[in-house]
Amino acid sequence: MSLPILMTVDDDPTVSRSVARDLRRRYGQDYRVVRALSGADALEALREIKLRGDAVAAILADYRMPQMDGIAFLEQAMDLFPHARRALLTAYADTEAAIQAINVVDVDHYLLKPWDPPDEKLYPVVDELVRTWRSAGAAPVEETKIVGHRWSSPSYRVRDFLARNSVPYRWYSVDEPEGQRLLEAADATGDDIPLLVTPDGAVLRKPGGPEIAEAVGLSTRPASEFYDLIVIGGGPAGLGAAVYGASEGLRTVLVERKATGGQAGQSSRIENYLGFPDGVSGAQLTDRARRQAQKFGAEVLTTRDVVGLEARGSARTVRFGDGTELAAHAVVLSTGVAYRALDAEGVEGLTGRGVYYGSASTEAPACQGEHVYIVGGANSAGQAAVFFSRYAKDVTILVRGSSLKDSMSHYLIEQLDLIDNIHVRTGTTVLRAHGDDHLEALTLCSDGGTEVVDCSHLFVFIGAAPRTDWLGDGILRDEHGFVRTGADLLVDGQRPPGWTLDRDPLHLEASIPGVFVAGDVRSQSVKRVASAVGEGAMAVTLVHRYLEAR
């Protein structure tokens, strides 16, 4: 952690060096002393300090400086660091002006030059400045900082990306003073929103996923051109395959389009996963699995969008959206599924501005005292309802069917019944979402007709669709787009077209030899976290069998 800063500003180089020398002698172990020879230079330094997230404890500025005197400088410095304590260095003839400055810009003290001996004249004043600063609770901010609009889809996407990748960040609305200070320090405007500032002070304007990943230290580029195993998709199945592949000696790389964890990673609480009797959040489970995979030597790449897969001799090659390629002896497909879009008027335009797919836990604090609506009747919807019930005034689950019993686990239904502010409305659908810059109301349809309800937050969990169009014709899929594997590929005992080996496909093997499928993307898979992890592990066993038989 960087030391807090004591800044001294004086246009006289001799005085500047003397102040800095005396400050370092007394405070050098606990503070970093920064000096500037003009107000303009000092403001530039303060902007860089602000972007890095360091703290300024106190500023000592000379009263008489050309271009910008000490009072004008301190007025602008306060905009950047309002909690920093302030003192003026002044000659005896300017004492009256220094006293007036205490009222004009809230200067804490003034110091007469010369200040010898410092033990009697300088240090008592600075001691009081830093004591006041510490008692105010000011502390350095080390997190990545985001400045954005409250109801903005791009701002939400940046926050969601960082949260799902376990990157600490602090959010500032463009409407609050600190957000404005960061914009000013970055020489940015509202057109640059969302603005991201990394802990080392780098500024990103309207950043996309790959740019953010690079800036915050996530790995995006493979270390090699060829691996034993490429795992595509970082949900439970992919993480399971990465852990077992790497732990069993395969050079393994996992590539993920957005963030590891998949839908399970967004779950607020998974209570029926083996070994966690008190439950575990999807984020916790994902983080542990990712660290476990990396401990065994697996590479984890984020923001890599795979757009093609083909066999080239004995190699299996994946093609990324940026045109680059990566090859391996074998591939595990574990791309999971995505929530289907809600087919209701107005929803598309309000997505990320009150309408969210998945639990979107970053929105929880904003739901304080609100009435939250959740669409869906499966476990993910029930887990989200339990989570948001801790924040919202009321949570209403909207279910198209007549009951939750056919789609939700029994333990979760019982849990919902015990929470007073959770309500379930069956036989109900959303017809329309209302709002200009953000969601304000919903039109609901049920057996009793239609009604309009106030709503600022709608979370959607309606079914799952596999994202498999990119696979092309080489990988056979069922009528819903899920990938066929093993015996499901045999038609009247005949192997799939183009099959090149003198054996039937292995249990989780797709229609291209050496390509295995695990988790929700596989046709007729069991849509549970435990089964996905199990299939990821089983896929690695089959990879070994495939490699040994070549």
Give the CATH number of the domain where residue 237 resides.
3.50.50.60
248 and 296 in a single domain? The answer is yes
Instruction: Answer yes or no: is 319 within a domain.
Output: yes
Q: How far apart, in whole angstroms, are the C-alpha atoms of residue 350 and residue 250?
A: 45
Instruction: Answer yes or no: is 220 within a domain.
Output: no
Given 417, 447, 462, the domain boundary residue is 462
Q: Which residues of 144-156 are buried (b: 16+ CB within 10 A; e: fewer)?
A: bbbbbbebbeebb
Polymer length of the chain: 550
351 and 334 in a single domain? The answer is no
Given 186, 215, 244, the domain boundary residue is 215
Share of the chain above pLDDT 70, in %: 96
The arithmetic mean of pLDDT across residues 53-74, rounded, is: 88
242 and 379 in a single domain? The answer is no
Q: Residue 177: which CATH number?
A: 3.40.30.10
Share of the chain above pLDDT 90, in %: 66
Instruction: Answer yes or no: is 182 within a domain.
Output: yes
- Which band of pLDDT confidence, cut at 50, 70 and 90, is reported for residue 38? very high
29 and 126 in a single domain? The answer is yes
Q: How far apart, in whole angstroms, are the C-alpha atoms of residue 308 and residue 304?
A: 12
Which residue from 290, 270, 279 is spatially nearest to 165, judged by alpha carbons? 290
377 and 366 in a single domain? The answer is yes
The domain of 202 spans 144-215
Cβ partners under 8 Å of residue 30, min gap 6: 3, 4
Instruction: Answer yes or no: is 160 within a domain.
Output: yes
- Which band of pLDDT confidence, cut at 50, 70 and 90, is reported for residue 95? low
pLDDT at 4 over 60: yes
Q: How far apart, in whole angstroms, are the C-alpha atoms of residue 250 and residue 242?
A: 9
Q: Residue 17: which CATH number?
A: 3.40.50.2300
The arithmetic mean of pLDDT across residues 235-244, rounded, is: 97
User: How does strand 306-312 pair with strand 299-301?
Assistant: unpaired
Cβ partners under 8 Å of residue 124, min gap 6: none
pLDDT at 102 over 80: no
The token pair that represents 291 in the structure block: 């660290």
Q: Are 292 and 266 in contact (CB under 8 A)?
A: no
The separation between CA 525 and the C-alpha centre of its own chain, rounded to angstroms, equals 29
Q: Are 50 and 80 in contact (CB under 8 A)?
A: yes
Give CA separation, 7 vs 33, 163, 238, 428, in Å. Answer: 6, 35, 51, 62
Q: How many CB atoms lie within 10 A of CB 344?
A: 20
The token pair that represents 144 in the structure block: 């990545």
Q: Which residue has the higher pLDDT, 273 or 534?
A: 534
pTM score:
0.74
Given 431, 462, 493, the domain boundary residue is 462
370 and 452 in a single domain? The answer is yes
84 and 121 in a single domain? The answer is yes
Phi–psi pair at 397, nearest 5 degrees:
-95, 125
Query: pLDDT digit string (tens) for 113-169?
Result: 778 888 888 998 899 899 888 876 554 445 789 999 989 999 999 998 998 888 888
286 and 432 in a single domain? The answer is no
Instruction: Answer yes or no: is 197 within a domain.
Output: yes
DSSP string for residues in 113-177:
SP--SHHHHTHHHHHHHHHHHHHTT-----SEEEEE-TT-HHHHHHHHHHHHTT--EEEEETTSH
- Which band of pLDDT confidence, cut at 50, 70 and 90, is reported for residue 445? very high
The token pair that represents 49 in the structure block: 């300090």
405 and 476 in a single domain? The answer is no
Question: Which H or E element spans position 46?
Answer: helix 39-52
Q: Quick one: pLDDT at residue 141?
A: 44
524 and 452 in a single domain? The answer is no
- The count of structural domains within the chain is 4
Instruction: Answer yes or no: is 396 within a domain.
Output: yes
Q: How far apart, in whole angstroms, are the C-alpha atoms of residue 107 and residue 37?
A: 20
Cβ partners under 8 Å of residue 460, min gap 6: 339, 342, 355, 356, 357, 358, 374, 375, 376
User: How does strand 515-517 pair with strand 325-333?
Assistant: parallel
Instruction: Answer yes or no: is 417 within a domain.
Output: yes
pLDDT at 287 over 90: no
User: How does strand 464-466 pair with strand 457-460?
Assistant: unpaired
The arithmetic mean of pLDDT across residues 456-479, rounded, is: 91
130 and 17 in a single domain? The answer is yes
Instruction: Answer yes or no: is 221 within a domain.
Output: no
408 and 317 in a single domain? The answer is no
